[in-house]
């Protein structure tokens, strides 16, 4: 039986109740593949949020509440405030730092066969396609870059399934210096992921699904 970890990462949005409801839904989906499913939440410590119901929830196996660095600290590390198309370096740094930390911590927690990498505000249904999402060699995601075919697409950074080793390789920028270089050449945050995957020889594949949605209320204030 495969052992699978689900990582839901990002801010608590729009609220804890919504995050827990999505945790239930994604566990139901992955439980169609195996009974051995653990859920991890990784988020930032924010003033005004009571995390007690999240911490005590029986559906959550572990939660990482990280201290958020200041914008000034991040810009000092990276050296510039925006990616090429204007996306804040600060937001991109928070995303990649959190993902790398959480994925490596999950690997040390237990010997999982696969990691499902999602967001706190994302819902997905696989339907009859679920078996296609689990490959020993391929990083499965919602869509991938088609620039090599003349398109302008990019590899999705919101949801993916891969073996533990491939998932970590896909998100492990290794050093701040390497992350800085990736950011320097990136137009959008997804280009950073593509750069890491290219360096670490991770092959991505677009995989079918029934439905996929980001919470329409995700920009509301958490409470």
Residue numbers of the domain that contains 62? 3-214
| Residue 53 in domain | yes
| Residue 143 in domain | yes
Give, as one character, the DSSP assignment of residue 112.
-
| Residue 223 in domain | no
DSSP character string of 29-72:
HHTTT-SEEEEEEEEE--TT---HHHHH-TT-SEEEEEPPPPHH
Residue 178 has pLDDT above 70, yes or no: yes
Q: How much is the pTM?
A: 0.94
Mean pLDDT of 4-21: 96
Q: What is the CATH number of the domain that holds 135?
A: 3.90.550
What pLDDT is attached to residue 220? 73
Mean pLDDT of 169-198: 97
Query: Do the beta carbons of residue 142 and residue 32 sit within 8 Å?
Result: no
Length of the chain: 223
Percent of the chain that is helix, strand, coil (3-state, to 5): 40, 20, 40
Backbone angles phi, psi at 80, to 5 degrees: -155, 150
Distance, C-alpha 203 to centroid of its chain: 17
What pLDDT is attached to residue 217? 87
| Residue 170 in domain | yes
Copy the structure tokens of residue 192: 């950073």
Among 41-55, 145-159, 190-204, name the one with the lowest average pLDDT: 145-159
Mean pLDDT of 76-103: 98
Give me the half-sphere count of Cα atoms (radius 13 Å) on the Cβ side of residue 197: 24
Mean pLDDT of 64-81: 98
What pLDDT is attached to residue 221? 53
Q: What is the mean pLDDT of the chain?
A: 94
Mean pLDDT of 129-133: 97
Reduced to 3 states (helix: H, G, I; strand: E, B; else coil), residue 11 is coil
DSSP character string of 78-103:
HS-SB-TTS-BHHHHHHHHHHHHHHH
Reduced to 3 states (helix: H, G, I; strand: E, B; else coil), residue 211 is strand
pLDDT digits 0-9 by tens, 143-175: 997 654 444 578 999 999 999 999 999 999 999
Residue 223 has pLDDT above 60, yes or no: no
Calculate the alpha carbon distances from 51 to 63, 72, 118, 192, 220 in Å: 10, 27, 19, 31, 17
| Residue 221 in domain | no
Provide the number of structural domains found in the chain: 1
Q: What percent of the chain has pLDDT over 70?
A: 96
Residue 59 has pLDDT above 50, yes or no: yes
Query: Do the beta carbons of residue 160 and residue 202 sit within 8 Å?
Result: no
């Amino acid at each position: 039986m495969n052992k699978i970890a689900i990582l839901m990462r990002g801010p608590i949005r729009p609220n804890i109740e919504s995050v827990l409801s999505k945790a239930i839904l994604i566990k139901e989906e992955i439980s169609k593949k195996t009974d051995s499913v653990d859920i991890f939440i990784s988020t930032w410590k924010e003033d005004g949020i009571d995390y007690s119901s999240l911490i005590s929830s029986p559906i959550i196996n572990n939660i990482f509440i990280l201290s958020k660095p200041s914008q000034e600290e991040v810009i000092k590390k990276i050296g510039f405030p925006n990616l090429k198309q204007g996306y804040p370096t600060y937001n991109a740094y928070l995303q990649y730092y959190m993902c790398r930390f959480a994925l490596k911590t999950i690997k040390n927690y237990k010997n999982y066969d696969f990691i499902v990498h999602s967001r706190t505000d994302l819902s997905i249904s696989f339907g009859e396609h679920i078996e296609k999402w689990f490959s020993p060699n391929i990083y499965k995601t919602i869509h991938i870059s088609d620039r090599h075919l003349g398109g302008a697409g990019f590899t999705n950074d919101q949801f993916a399934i891969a073996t533990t080793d491939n998932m970590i390789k896909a998100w492990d920028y290794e050093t701040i210096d390497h992350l800085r270089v990736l950011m320097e050449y990136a137009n959008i945050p997804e280009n950073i992921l593509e750069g890491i995957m290219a360096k670490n020889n991770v092959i991505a594949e677009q995989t079918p699904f029934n439905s996929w949605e980001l919470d329409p209320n995700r920009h509301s204030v958490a409470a």
